[in-house]
Amino acid sequence: MAQPQMRRAIESGVPDNQQFLHPLLKKNYGNWKYHDRPRPGVLHHVAHDGDEVWTVRAGTQRQMDVYTIRRLCDIADQYAEGHVRFTIRSNIEFMVSSFAKVGPLIAELETSGFPVGGTGNSVSMIAHTQGWLHCDIPGTDASGVVKALMDELYDEFRREEMPNRVHLSTSCCEINCGGQADIAIIVQHTKPPKINHDLVANVCERPAVVARCPVAAIRPALVNGKPSLEVDEKKCICCGACYPPCPPMQINDPEHSKLAIWVGGKNSNARAKPTFMKMVAAGLPNHPPRWPEVAEVVKRILHVYKADARPWERLSDWVERIGWPRFFEKTDLPFTKYLIDDWRGARVNLNASTHIRF
């Protein structure tokens, strides 16, 4: 008798997405005649052979329990055609092949608490890093900031009334997976790490920790007769890079870990070259569960941008046109010494970019 074939484990990489595509998307892959947006939150694709697909995009609370995911799958089975996909900003999209299904699908999604929108010149769902649920070094809950902020920006998600698309992101440490965005909310440590000398020798690979510091502020040291580490606090830029490989160098602090807001980042080459973000607000309290101080500043920047930018200006284009002094005047944000990048390694660091040369 033939032995059953064992499935070979796939150790790396994502599975081929073609097997999960809606049949019409698979059939017409790369062969579309045109697409348009009949209303916010709905994309309409027309293929050369006449096939049509309507995609309805909805927002979720990001980190979802299994019951919510089952509810979304039930909506997909009952009101769409059994296929969903998640966008890069974790919106969920439902595909249907007839316009008649679009209205009931939107009504069901909105009744179930999932707003439809996030397309075109809206404030799309905020990209966030993993936060308290998955990562071991966060200074805040990036996904919590997203939920709190999106509750406040609910209507801007459902409408396309911004001058251009607006991408926001939140990051729960300063050094790892944070993203570029038109407006980014990023943890900002303001004091050097506190070292638990009793644990360093047991837990930390000391040469690796010393090598990790970008400003060479960490040295091996003997403390109370035990091998440990010490930090030159005058050199330390409070980046937090030593904490992941050496948790006894605790840098998260309920009072001194703050949030900063950066603006003007853009990854794409559309219309203008990509841009780096600049910090415009520092030292905001890390204040769960609703982060009201952060929400207030983000909304202020968004409202001024919406009122003042010309059609199709991204946030970085708008600031470039009016200039940074006018940005601070118009948004009524204080310009302080904490916003000046005086790190002398920045010159070398920025030269690593393909777009900026000094």
Element (H, E) at 144: helix 142-152
Site for ligand SF4 in 267-326 (CB under 6 A): none
Query: Is residue 176 near ligand SF4 by the rule CB under 6 A?
Result: yes
CB of 258 to ligand SF4, least distance (A): 15
Rounded to whole angstroms, the Cα distance separating 240 from 251 reads: 6
188 DSSP β-pair partners: 258
At residue 227, φ and ψ (nearest 5 deg) are: -65, 130
Query: Is residue 63 near ligand SF4 by the rule CB under 6 A?
Result: no
Interface region with ligand SF4, contact rule CB under 6 A, candidates 9-17, 59-67, 167-175, 348-356: 167-175
Element (H, E) at 55: strand 52-58
Number of residues near ligand SF4 (by CB under 6 A): 28
The mark string for 125-164 relative to ligand SF4 (x by CB under 6 A, - otherwise) is ----xx----x-xx---x----------------------
Interface region with ligand SF4, contact rule CB under 6 A, candidates 99-107, 207-215, 289-297, 323-331: 207-215
Interface region with ligand SF4, contact rule CB under 6 A, candidates 30-38, 89-97, 166-174, 295-303: 166-174
Amino acid identity for residue 12 in this structure: S
Is residue 209 within 8 Å of residue 245, measured between CB atoms?
yes
Pick from 21, 43, 201, 237: which binds ligand SF4 (CB under 6 A)? 237
Rounded to whole angstroms, the Cα distance separating 228 from 246 reads: 11
Interface region with ligand SF4, contact rule CB under 6 A, candidates 39-47, 52-60, 229-237, 269-277: 229-237
Amino acid identity for residue 60 in this structure: T
Pick from 125, 126, 127, 173: which binds ligand SF4 (CB under 6 A)? 173
Is residue 94 within 8 Å of residue 86, measured between CB atoms?
no
Pick from 236, 297, 301, 304: which binds ligand SF4 (CB under 6 A)? 236
Element (H, E) at 52: strand 52-58
Query: Is residue 239 near ligand SF4 by the rule CB under 6 A?
Result: yes
Smallest CA-to-CA distance from 282 within 247, 319, 238 is with: 238
Pick from 218, 261, 309, 319: which binds ligand SF4 (CB under 6 A)? 218
CB of 112 to ligand SF4, least distance (A): 29
- CB-wise, 75 or 217, nearer to ligand SF4? 217
Rounded to whole angstroms, the Cα distance separating 135 from 133 reads: 6
Is residue 132 within 8 Å of residue 58, measured between CB atoms?
no
CA distances from residue 104 to 76, 163, 249, 318, 327 in whole angstroms, order as listed: 12, 30, 54, 39, 43
Question: Which residues contribute to the site for ligand SF4 (CB under 6 A)?
Answer: 129-130, 135, 137-138, 142, 171-173, 176-178, 192-193, 212-213, 215, 217-218, 231, 236-242, 251
